[in-house]
Amino acid sequence: MENSLEKSNFRPWDMELKQFCVLMHIAQFAGYVIPLAGFVLPFIMWHNFKDKNESIDQHGKNIVNWMISAVIYGALFGVLCFFLIGFPLLFVLGACATIFPILGALKANEGNFYKYPFTIEFFK
């Protein structure tokens, strides 16, 4: 198993590893087109190839950890809406849910890893 995006001959879905990792990050936006696809698609991509490449596993864990964390934060901030503080927090969470996958995709395209801030690590 190769650890580097540049040195591996492994081609998931007949793509370069960089492209696949970029697509994993961008796949979070699939939920805008098909409900829940933004959660399901990155998880399936990671789960199917996590044992075959360390880079996919690293990016996938980060993405799945962020998605679970965002759901938890969203539920907590939703409750805080009763105290009015939740509304701006939900806005910030929405901004983060848009910005973090884009930054992750840009870093993956460069062959680097971007750890999403504020992520609770469920998978290490």
Q: Look at residue 78 and tell me if it is in a domain.
A: yes
Q: Look at residue 75 and tell me if it is in a domain.
A: yes
Q: Look at residue 25 and tell me if it is in a domain.
A: no
Q: Per-residue pLDDT tens for 35-60?
A: 999 999 999 999 999 999 999 999 99
Q: Does the model's pTM come out above 0.75?
A: yes
Q: Look at residue 58 and tell me if it is in a domain.
A: yes
User: Looking at residue 11, what is its pLDDT?
Assistant: 83
Q: Look at residue 39 and tell me if it is in a domain.
A: yes
Q: How many domains does the chain have?
A: 1
Q: Per-residue pLDDT tens for 7-30?
A: 457 788 888 999 999 999 999 999
Q: Look at residue 116 and tell me if it is in a domain.
A: no
Q: Look at residue 63 and tell me if it is in a domain.
A: yes
Q: How far is CA 44 from the centre of its chain?
A: 12
The domain containing residue 89 runs over which residues? 34-109
Q: Look at residue 121 and tell me if it is in a domain.
A: no
Percent of the chain whose predicted confidence (pLDDT) is above 90: 85
What HEC string does the chain produce?
Answer: CCCCCCCCCCCHHHCCHHHHHHHHHHHHHHHHCCCCHHHHHHHHHHHHHCCCCHHHHHHHHHHHHHHHHHHHHHHHHHHHHHHCCHHHHHHHHHHHHHHHHHHHHHHHHCCCCCCCCCCCCCCC
User: Looking at residue 89, what is its pLDDT?
Assistant: 97
